[in-house]
Chain A
Amino acid sequence: MSLLRINGVEARFGGVVALAGVTLDIPEGVIFGLIGPNGAGKTTLINVVSGLVKPTAGSITFGAEAGGPWPIASAVSRGIVRTFQQTRAFLGLTVRENLRIAAVSSPDPACIEELVDACGLAPVLDRVAGDLPYATLRHLGIALALALKPRLLLLDEPAVGLAEEEVERLGALVRRWHAGGITVLLVEHNVRFLMEMSDRVAVLDRGAVLFVGTPAECQDRQEVIDVYLGRRQADAAD
């Protein structure tokens, strides 16, 4: 049973075609990985699904409900919640105030206590978010999204800039909430992390879906290696 169905979504910015007719099925209960080179349209896809950017064509179905994408507030109330590629938290406010804001539209503010523990925020509740170490800030960004008890969590490169053990902590956090019943769309450049986490993987290139399959299938496909994995390895060799 698919939770999110993306039907022929197209997004243009002036002459730039960011999404050229994307169709994807994200089954309920999976961690769905999405990779692709810079500028492939991954963030734009998250923007469309979360209601931040209106697509020029196409639609989405969420659960049994057709007629999306919805404006961002309605998307959130349906349980579609996203994080941002550039970490976003209320930098001028304390962690406690950040969580108080997340609690405003949370259907279950009591869950925040557990989140605070799981995200390692208990010792920093009264610190200003802008002064937090980078990894803690990233966790705060995810905690704000999880506080809304999403059905579908859209994570835009959560692991970027994190050290290895921090990536592991992040992975454990996502797995724990996933086990609690959340479906996850995970956009990530850290290929190893993505392949380890995901049940299914899609590859996006220049606004089009190149491949959908299991992580193992993905790593064997020549065209994927060419457009993405190969280019990454070449980058690393530079």
Chain B
Amino acid sequence: MMDPLASSRHGFIRTVAAASAMLVAACAVSLQLNDYYLYVVTIGAIFAVLAVSFDVLLGYTGYLSLAHGALYGLGAYICAVLTARHGLPFWAALPVAGLATGAAGALVALLSFRTRGLYFAVLTLGIGLVGHQLFLVFDQVTGGVGGFVGIPGPEQPAWLPVSPVAYAALLALALLWVTFVAASLFVRSKLGAACLAVREDITLARALGIRVAAARLSAFAFSATFAGLAGALFAAISSFIAPESFTVLGTGFQLVALVVVGGMGTLWGPVVGAILLTALPEALRVASTYSLLAYGVLLLVCVIFAPKGIASLISAAVRRFRGKSKPAPDPARLRREATP
């Protein structure tokens, strides 16, 4: 008989292969773009990193956190301070920002221990608001409302002779690949299974010996780590950051929209959501007013016509296409039927 638990290894290899192919294609296309569209790709990829990391928490573990925008900001400011004030190279500041933000995420998890659902969302709303205020108040460190100016860009290796703008886009795409692969590994791990259990039925999870607190903590820490990495990269390639990029009402809610529209609990759905909801309005921008309008309309259309996310539409279409083209016989079943 087939191992009932084996499903994952093959699926994981396929996922990594598909993600790698997409990465190569996206890089190849990006190198043909002008600076404006390269910027759109960069921002889209960074938001996709945020969306994938957010999906581990919202989609797989079932916690709607509004503090994610603040964690993203924390990563950005840590990177800015370390590189601009302390002269650390970007490649050293990046992992520090990720790990420190991951630790902050774990702290949020501990603070919000025992709350769930709406209470949890409100609690993280508070944390997100406080975080944003701290960026404003500690202006000695952060530059306050005026922003943090003069963040050095990521050092570019000599063997990659592309423009700095193209380099930024390649880095953002690479970070997206790393995030996606790491998240795929996480959700397939024992911790990932524990997170699903927490999302579905916390009492049953406990009854089956799942360490609920550990699962929740790891999902938060994982999610926050990649939000921190996204923030750090954003800071380095923007050279300027300000608190308005890390608000609850802006980034915090936008992330919820990206993940819900893309399709929660799929990892790739949120990538689609990020492309559609950040990059597309930018790319189609005629005037910024219409961009916001387009954004709102897109949200409405998606939620009305694809309440389970665009990912569910795409997989249904793929299934229908496969079902018509080849009625694949299950080889295991044939074998079972052949043996007496």
- Kindly state whether residue A159 has any CB partner on chain B within 8 Å: no
| Binary CB contact string for chain A from 107 to 136 against chain B (1 if under 8 A, 0 otherwise) | 001001100110001100100000000000
Q: Please tell me if the beta carbons of A82 and B193 are within 8 angstroms of each other in the complex.
A: no
How near does chain B come to A73, taking the closest CB pair, in angstroms? 6
A178 to B327, CA, bound (A): 43
A102 to B203, CA, bound (A): 13
- Kindly state whether residue B328 has any CB partner on chain A within 8 Å: no
| Binary CB contact string for chain A from 144 to 163 against chain B (1 if under 8 A, 0 otherwise) | 11001000000000000000
How near does chain B come to A208, taking the closest CB pair, in angstroms? 26
- Kindly state whether residue B171 has any CB partner on chain A within 8 Å: no
Q: Please tell me if the beta carbons of A112 and B4 are within 8 angstroms of each other in the complex.
A: yes
Q: Please tell me if the beta carbons of A72 and B206 are within 8 angstroms of each other in the complex.
A: yes
- Kindly state whether residue B92 has any CB partner on chain A within 8 Å: no
Q: Please tell me if the beta carbons of B5 and A84 are within 8 angstroms of each other in the complex.
A: no
Complex interface: chain A residues within 8 A of B190 (CB): 104
Query: How many A-B contacts at CB < 8 Å in the complex?
Result: 85
How near does chain A come to B5, taking the closest CB pair, in angstroms? 6
Measured CB to CB, the nearest residue on chain B to A97 is: B196
Q: Please tell me if the beta carbons of A104 and B194 are within 8 angstroms of each other in the complex.
A: yes
Q: Please tell me if the beta carbons of B5 and A99 are within 8 angstroms of each other in the complex.
A: yes
How near does chain B come to A113, taking the closest CB pair, in angstroms? 6
How near does chain A come to B168, taking the closest CB pair, in angstroms? 39
Q: Please tell me if the beta carbons of B211 and A96 are within 8 angstroms of each other in the complex.
A: no
Q: Please tell me if the beta carbons of A148 and B4 are within 8 angstroms of each other in the complex.
A: no
| Binary CB contact string for chain B from 1 to 17 against chain A (1 if under 8 A, 0 otherwise) | 10111010000000000
Q: Which of B5, B193, B205 is within 8 Å of A112, CB to CB?
A: B5
Q: Which of A91, A97, A112, A148 is within 8 Å of B208, CB to CB?
A: A148
Q: Given A84-B207, A148-B208, does the pair A99, B4 have CB atoms closer than 8 Å?
A: yes
- Kindly state whether residue A211 has any CB partner on chain B within 8 Å: no
- Kindly state whether residue A52 has any CB partner on chain B within 8 Å: yes
Instruction: Tell me if A's interface is mostly helix, strand, loop or mixed.
Output: helix
- Kindly state whether residue A18 has any CB partner on chain B within 8 Å: no
How near does chain A come to B130, taking the closest CB pair, in angstroms? 32
Measured CB to CB, the nearest residue on chain B to A123 is: B333
- Kindly state whether residue A227 has any CB partner on chain B within 8 Å: no
Q: Please tell me if the beta carbons of B4 and A116 are within 8 angstroms of each other in the complex.
A: yes
| Binary CB contact string for chain A from 38 to 73 against chain B (1 if under 8 A, 0 otherwise) | 000000000000101000000000000000000011
Q: Please tell me if the beta carbons of A100 and B207 are within 8 angstroms of each other in the complex.
A: no
A52 to B340, CA, bound (A): 47
A81 to B209, CA, bound (A): 9
- Kindly state whether residue B210 has any CB partner on chain A within 8 Å: yes
- Kindly state whether residue A90 has any CB partner on chain B within 8 Å: yes
- Kindly state whether residue B155 has any CB partner on chain A within 8 Å: no
- Kindly state whether residue A222 has any CB partner on chain B within 8 Å: no
Complex interface: chain B residues within 8 A of A100 (CB): 5, 193
Q: Please tell me if the beta carbons of A125 and B4 are within 8 angstroms of each other in the complex.
A: yes
Number of residues on chain A facing chain B (CB within 8 A): 35
How near does chain B come to A89, taking the closest CB pair, in angstroms? 7
Q: Please tell me if the beta carbons of B201 and A88 are within 8 angstroms of each other in the complex.
A: yes
- Kindly state whether residue B139 has any CB partner on chain A within 8 Å: no
How near does chain B come to A59, taking the closest CB pair, in angstroms? 21
A134 to B90, CA, bound (A): 57
| Binary CB contact string for chain B from 124 to 136 against chain A (1 if under 8 A, 0 otherwise) | 0000000000000
How near does chain A come to B339, taking the closest CB pair, in angstroms? 14
Q: Please tell me if the beta carbons of B207 and A76 are within 8 angstroms of each other in the complex.
A: yes
A144 to B204, CA, bound (A): 10
Q: Which of A81, A101, A116, A121 is within 8 Å of B193, CB to CB?
A: A101
- Kindly state whether residue A3 has any CB partner on chain B within 8 Å: no
A28 to B110, CA, bound (A): 40
Complex interface: chain A residues within 8 A of B207 (CB): 50, 52, 72, 76, 81-82, 84, 88, 145
A77 to B209, CA, bound (A): 7
A117 to B210, CA, bound (A): 24
Most chain B beta-carbon contacts within 10 A, residue among A93, A99, A101, A116 = A101
Complex interface: chain A residues within 8 A of B209 (CB): 72-73, 76-77, 81, 104-105, 148
- Kindly state whether residue A191 has any CB partner on chain B within 8 Å: no
- Kindly state whether residue B176 has any CB partner on chain A within 8 Å: no
- Kindly state whether residue A230 has any CB partner on chain B within 8 Å: no
Q: Please tell me if the beta carbons of A109 and B1 are within 8 angstroms of each other in the complex.
A: no
10 contacts between A and B (CB under 8 A): A91-B200, A96-B4, A100-B5, A100-B193, A104-B194, A104-B210, A105-B209, A105-B211, A116-B4, A144-B208
Q: What 10 pairs across the A-B complex have the smallest Cβ distances? A: A105-B209, A76-B209, A90-B200, A101-B197, A88-B204, A116-B4, A72-B206, A104-B190, A101-B193, A100-B193
Sample of 7 more A-B contacts, CB < 8 Å, known A72-B207, A112-B4, A113-B3? A73-B206, A76-B209, A91-B201, A92-B200, A97-B196, A101-B210, A105-B210
